[in-house]
Chain A
Amino acid sequence: EAGVVQSPRYKIIEKKQPVAFWCNPISGHNTLYWYLQNLGQGPELLIRYENEEAVDDSQLPKDRFSAERLKGVDSTLKIQPAELGDSAVYLCASSPRLGEGTGELFFGEGSRLTVL
């Protein structure tokens, strides 16, 4: 079974440019997460989806970040415009429906963003 797939793996852009990251979760997983991982830090939640609904976006900087999960499967995270401080790894994860399983999250390999 395929794992969580993210693209691109690496992205280098100049500040003020837009960037988008894509995530395809494990088939059948209703819950999708976007985490931000700064260098030398643990992942921090940006947004969590249950199917198409964003149920926790309290940590998403809404002035420049947006996310969507159309049809409850794939998701896209966008930054516009990017700032130097956005350089980080953006991790996508998925899990079965809340209440099922044991809380384990399955992670993709991440998208590493460098803003120049």
Chain B
Amino acid sequence: AQSVTQLGSHVSVSEGALVLLRCNYSSSVPPYLFWYVQYPNQGLQLLLKYTSAATLVKGINGFEAEFKKSETSFHLTKPSAHMSDAAEYFCAVGGSQGNLIFGKGTKLSVKP
């Protein structure tokens, strides 16, 4: 069975500060891993994905994530937060069955 755990339901950072959103996964098969972002009253938009190529994945809007198999982690980072980054972020794991299994989400607040 596959699962995702996101540590911290709410993260608050100052504008310009480092953003770190944590995600740990469980999977019995080599996983595909994803980060999605959701702005208020909108659907989910893909930020980045890991599909067994490079372990450091770069996504849109300056975000990146590093796949660490030994730690079963796929944390999302951004060196400098912007006000427009305020949103909810979801980590997801997918496999050969085609579904994505999502974490509960982390709401990011950015203070001016």
Q: Point out residues on A near B: beta carbons under 8 Å.
A: 4, 31, 33, 40-45, 48, 56, 91, 93, 95, 98, 102-110, 112
Contact = CB atoms under 8 A, between A and B. Distances in A.
A40 B94 CA distance: 21
A98 B105 contact: no
Contacts of A112: 41
A45 B101 CA distance: 8
Contacts of B43: 4, 91, 107-110
Interface stretch (B14-22, B44-52, B60-68, B76-84): B44-52
A40 B105 contact: yes
A43 B90 contact: yes
A103 B45 CA distance: 14
Interface centre among A48, A102, A110 (most CB of B within 10 A): A102
B58 interface: no
A15 B83 CA distance: 39
B46 A104 contact: yes
B98 A42 contact: no
Interface string B12-48: 0000000000000000000010101000011111100
**Most A C-beta atoms less than 10 A away, residue of B43, B103, B104:** B43
B74 to A, nearest CB: 14
Most B C-beta atoms less than 10 A away, residue of A91, A98, A107: A107
A109 B42 contact: yes
Contact of B102 (A40, A44, A109): A44
A112 B43 CA distance: 11
